[in-house]
Amino acid sequence: MINIFIGFDPRETVSYHVLCHSILTRASAPVSITPLMLTQLSHILTRPRHPLQSTDFSFSRFLVPYLSNYQGWSVFMDCDMLVLDDIAKLWQLQDEQYAVQVVKHHHEPTEESKFLNAPQTRYEKKNWSSVMLFNNEKCWQLTPEYVNSASGLALHQFKWLDDEQLIGELPHCWNHLVGYDVPSQTTSLVHYTIGGPYFKNWETCEFSDEWFKEKQAMLYVETD
């Protein structure tokens, strides 16, 4: 079973469901998808919302190892994404020497705000945590107590690991940043990090046609 956790924000509900559809229709193995909804995690994630927190799942993503009972492997991804490849290919990249595997972007945004006028923040390892392949047993430091008390930078910069050598690298195609990365036809996972096609200002962004096609396929129902 491929265990996937997806960040959920009610302001982007449609993006979550289209992403799920894009995963399920291309997967060659059974998939379990769990939304990280704050309404379902209120007894676990108790930290107050930070002024710079742009989404509901800024911190809940780090509860994935705990929610997986620190066993096996799990995938986390933001909801503002679209999968164009078999998710089993990402799952097969597991490397036991690492605690977590990510696409190691060198991302330095220049704009001051992103979708819905959320403040844009700049920090080392920006967007590394937007797709994570967790080796849950080696992420024992991510307890609810730690996730509730650690700073945002400590979490997103993986300060909870004893050694940065425990951060493995995933192929870039598994986290293509729309609007930043050079356009590519070999993208496996599209990340609409500035704003997805479901927002009016981004209806014609890169991979918008693919997103609308996926949405239409998700809404299909046989009528005869």
CATH number, domain with residue 106: 3.90.550.10
Q: Which amino acid is at 215?
A: K
Cite the DSSP H helix spans in 26-175: 38-41, 64-67, 87-91, 144-149, 152-156
The pairing of beta strand 189-191 with beta strand 176-177: parallel
Task: Decide if 63 is inside a domain.
Answer: yes
CA distance 151 to 131: 20
Within-domain flag for 223: no
Residue 185 lies in a domain: yes
Can you tell me the distance from the alpha carbon of 15 to that of 28, in angstroms, rounded to the nearest whole number? 22
Domain annotation covers residue 26: yes
Specify if 224 maps to a domain.
no
Does pTM top 0.75 for this prediction? Answer: yes
Helix residue spans in 45-86 (DSSP H): 64-67
pLDDT digits (tens, 9 = 90+) for 185-197: 899 999 999 899 9
DSSP code of 221?
-
User: Which residues sit opposite 190 in a β-bridge?
Assistant: 82, 176
Is residue 178, in this structure, part of any structural domain at all? yes
Range of the domain at 22: 2-218
Q: What pLDDT does residue 116 have? A: 61
Dist CA 21 CA 31 (whole Å): 11
Query: Around 86, how many Cα atoms within 13 Å sit in the side-chain half-sphere?
Result: 8
Is the confidence at residue 121, as pLDDT, over 80? no
Residue 145 burial (C-beta neighbours within 10 Å; 0-12, 13-18, 19+): exposed
Strands 131-135 and 73-77: antiparallel
Residue 80 covered by a domain: yes
How many structural domains is the chain composed of?
Answer: 1
Tens-digit pLDDT profile for residues 123-161: 688 899 999 999 999 999 999 999 999 999 999 999 999
Sign of the torsion formed by the C-alpha atoms of 149, 41, 105 and 135: positive
35: its two tokens: 């939304």
Predicted local distance difference test score (pLDDT) of residue 107: 63
